[in-house]
Structure 1
């Protein structure tokens, strides 16, 4: 069965990476919620995608220069708040964002300390995942692959790999499976494309519309 992974929560219906988006993803029948973790200037892991705050909040400039209390006032949840809502109700895929930008606090260590063994950690940065593995070897790791990190390299430490939809190929999927890796593709909102990827044997699909993807998977192709 293909996993439905709610990309930043049910981000078509609700504001991405917010508690309502995660509640909606649970109601929509997603198997996992995926969200992005960064860190405030005072060392609190928070859930937000963009490096800057301008697009989704009244604040401007880099998130990492703001205190957690300021961020909470404009709807940016802490990692603790998100985990309190989703733990035991849905699978968790936490993406480590911009892990190389933090110098004052041990970012990966602070995030991993809050996660449980059943959670999945994702990153584009292999260094962040290697740090996570060193700190918590029981966690499952997903490496987004591409020009900087190959499938074969990821297989040395990862449980799974993520592909851009525009870059995934049958050959790449076959190579990942041969190496024992789980596979996921992002971001998929189209019914026809969903069916193509399911036919190729992809394990999971990141989507902004988990309700629609779940409905497609329930209907005979």
Structure 2
């Protein structure tokens, strides 16, 4: 099965890419798959859509059901998830340091071991569309085994102590060109690069005011910038020489259109389905052309 991705309207930095995802005969989208070999970042389109935590306003965040739903819907080219370490060193898919917000339990994630993790159940938010059952948060190995090589993945190493373990999981599956490893710390990103991984660095709007992103271009594959940043700061990131610059966390078509008009070549969004339904509109922005 192949998703048809029609990219139109790329004529200038202010007239950017429109994403249309349809299945055969114009029907519902089919999963993004490219042949039998592992899909790598080389297959990504000029403008990339990322489902943040699987699309956290459309599916239960960081859940296997949510990630699989986002994959099957075909409204994103990349699936993002967060990782933390259990007490025994097992990397699991989870955002917060505690269980309180998204599960039926409380306490520290790092206080549990793999056996105890089997009893954790996610608590789907009532505001999510559709019906979702409680389920155990997956391990990183389970997500890599289910989706690795079928779609590009992006994982954030919330606990840098686990970077070597994450690298081993990715290398053992032949996915070093298929998985971005994300951090807010340039030194962690540098370590990821030295481990042979695709290094991603995210920055807040406040950090971007004083950042000099050109310093990172020798070891950063993807710069992940805050959509709330000033136009000038976004343009400086785009012109840094880092190969890819994607904006987070995009929630509205207008935010997406601004990011693309300023030269970003991807958006990280909680609502990939919503953005796919709204064509890109050209915006005039103060930053001028992109790269």
Q: TM-score, normalised by structure 2?
A: 0.67
Aligned mates of 2:266, 2:69 — CA distance in 1? 19
CA-atom RMSD in angstroms? 2.0
Aligned mates of 1:114, 1:170 — CA distance in 2? 38
What whole-Å deviation, never above 9, does each CA across 1:55-107 have from its counterpart, x for those lacking one? 111221221111122223221210011112212321111111132xx4xxxx1
Aligned mates of 2:258, 2:281 — CA distance in 1? 13
Q: Which residue of 1 aligns with 2:99?
A: 53
Pairs within 5 Å for 1:1-221: 1-29=46-74, 30-74=76-120, 75-99=136-160, 102=161, 107-115=162-170, 116-118=175-177, 119-136=179-196, 139-146=197-204, 147=207, 150-217=212-279
Deviates more, 1:39-48 or 1:1-10: 1-10
Unaligned runs of 5+ in 1: none
Aligned mates of 2:240, 2:211 — CA distance in 1? 17
Q: Would the aligned equivalents of 1:10 and 1:16 in 2 still touch at CA under 8 Å?
A: yes
What whole-Å deviation, never above 9, does each CA across 1:29-49 have from its counterpart, x for those lacking one? 210001111110011111100
Paired positions, count: 212
Aligned mates of 1:168, 1:122 — CA distance in 2? 22
Q: Would the aligned equivalents of 2:199 and 2:221 in 1 still touch at CA under 8 Å?
A: yes
Unaligned runs of 5+ in 2: 1-45, 121-135, 283-291
1:149/1:4 CA distance change after superposition, 3 Å: same
Aligned mates of 1:28, 1:206 — CA distance in 2? 16
1:126 CA displacement: 2.0
1:13 CA displacement: 2.2
Aligned mates of 2:118, 2:186 — CA distance in 1? 30
Aligned mates of 2:147, 2:96 — CA distance in 1? 22
More helix by share: 1
